[in-house]
């Protein structure tokens, strides 16, 4: 056994950059396998000067892989941590694969629950409600906030995975993302309510009480219909047809009166 050979910092930066392309060739057979192999390839080149060893290492990482794209940074970093040990014989060759297969499922579930169903919808609702109340500046603020969290976590997870390998689980557990997700979803729902009120107030300004009733009914009936399982697209077309027809009748009666 020889001394651990560390992947150079510049190579780690390259790997992180390539992590951003993790889903470029998402496919049904290996899902993010091509993306993972593409991301880790510079590190493998640095660790395995021997061509045959490098080919074998890359083949390892061309197997099935699927995780949340942000959380996968931790696994890419951790896989390099394990490959450094494999390269000097401190760990068996299937060590990185065990690491990947153990973490990908739980991190995918956590990433989907936090980023895709909580933080991003919250940021979207914040941007939308802000755009209705304040203007374009709110969109910029919401995007900056979202990406500050997203990129900080993505970089931090990659570094934690590389530094600690399996210990990254402890780092992620300490973030309490699940509890935070519920609070973000609740705040997002409230922001949607504020946005609906802003739309109704615009309707009051544009068309008086009749317009306000039309918009308000659309929000309430729409929510109840969606809660009962109505499909979004058919419901949208039905709502538009009903609203335009009702508005035509109201405006006609108003004109006749």
Partner 1 sequence: MGVRDSRSVVYTTRVLAYLALAIVAGLAAVERKGFLQAMLSRPVALAPITGLALGDLQAGLLLAAPLELLWLGAVNLGASLPAHEALATVAITGGAVLSARALGTAVTADVALLSIVVCAPLALVGRSADQRVERWNDRLAERAEAELAAGHPRTAARTNLRGLALPFAVAAGLAPLGAEVAARMVPAVIRALPSAAAPLRLGFLAFAALACASGARALRVRSAPGWFFAAFAGALALGLVTRGVHS
> Binders of partner 1 among 151-210, rule CB under 8 A?
151, 182, 185-204, 206-207
Residue from 77, 87, 110, 218 binding partner 1 (CB under 8 A):
218
Say how many residues touch partner 1, by CB under 8 A.
Answer: 101
Indicate the residue among 98 and 136 with the shorter CB distance to partner 1: 136
CB of 176 to partner 1, least distance (A): 16
Indicate the residue among 127 and 168 with the shorter CB distance to partner 1: 127
Q: What does the alpha-carbon distance between residue 19 and residue 154 come to, in Å, rounded to a whole number?
A: 9
Tokens standing for 63?
């197997």
CB of 143 to partner 1, least distance (A): 6
Determine the 3-state secondary structure of 66 from DSSP. coil
124 binds partner 1 (CB under 8 A): yes
Indicate the residue among 163 and 206 with the shorter CB distance to partner 1: 206
66 binds partner 1 (CB under 8 A): yes
For partner 1, the binding residues in 103-122 under the rule CB under 8 A are 108, 112, 116-118, 120-122
Residue from 5, 11, 58, 102 binding partner 1 (CB under 8 A):
58
At residue 204, φ and ψ (nearest 5 deg) are -60, -45
Q: What does the alpha-carbon distance between residue 78 and residue 169 come to, in Å, rounded to a whole number?
A: 10
127 binds partner 1 (CB under 8 A): yes
62 binds partner 1 (CB under 8 A): yes
115 contacts 146 by C-beta, under 8 angstroms: no
Burial class (CB in 10 A: 0-12, 13-18, 19+), 100: buried
In 10 A of CB 14, how many CB atoms? 18
Task: List, in order, residues 6 or more apart from 4 with CB less than 8 Å away.
Answer: 84, 85, 88, 90
239 binds partner 1 (CB under 8 A): yes
* Integer angstrom CA distances of residue 95 from 15, 39, 68, 81, 200: 20, 18, 21, 10, 59
The span of 7-15, 21-29, 75-83, 94-102 binding partner 1 (CB under 8 A) equals 21-29
101 binds partner 1 (CB under 8 A): no
147 binds partner 1 (CB under 8 A): yes
CB of 180 to partner 1, least distance (A): 12
Indicate the residue among 55 and 167 with the shorter CB distance to partner 1: 55
User: What are the contacts of 216-221 at 24+ separation with CB within 8 A?
Assistant: 218/243
HSE-CB of 108 using CA atoms within 13 angstroms: 11
């Amino acid at each position: 056994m020889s001394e651990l050979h560390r992947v150079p910092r510049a190579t780690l930066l390259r790997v992180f950059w390539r992590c951003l392309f993790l889903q470029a060739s998402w496919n049904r057979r290996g899902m993010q396998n091509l993306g993972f192999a593409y991301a880790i390839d510079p590190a493998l080149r640095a660790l395995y000067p021997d061509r045959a060893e490098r080919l074998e290492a890359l083949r390892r990482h061309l197997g099935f892989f699927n995780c949340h794209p942000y959380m996968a940074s931790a696994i890419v970093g951790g896989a390099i941590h394990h490959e450094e040990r494999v390269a000097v014989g401190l760990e068996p060759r299937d060590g990185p694969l065990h690491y990947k297969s153990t973490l990908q499922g739980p991190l995918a579930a956590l990433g989907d629950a936090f980023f895709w169903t909580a933080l991003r919808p919250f940021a979207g609702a914040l941007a939308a409600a802000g755009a209705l109340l304040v203007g374009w500046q709110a969109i910029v603020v919401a995007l900056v906030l979202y990406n500050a969290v997203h990129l900080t976590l993505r970089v931090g997870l990659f570094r934690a995975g590389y530094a600690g390998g399996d210990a990254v689980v402890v780092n992620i557990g300490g973030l309490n993302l699940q509890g935070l997700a519920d609070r973000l979803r609740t705040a997002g729902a409230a922001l949607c309510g504020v946005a609906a009120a802003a739309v109704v107030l615009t309707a009051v300004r544009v068309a008086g009480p009749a317009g306000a009733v039309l918009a308000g009914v659309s929000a309430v009936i729409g929510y109840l219909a969606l809660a009962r399982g109505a499909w979004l697209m058919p419901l949208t077309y039905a709502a538009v047809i009903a609203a335009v027809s009702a508005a035509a009748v109201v405006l006609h009666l108003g004109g006749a009166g």
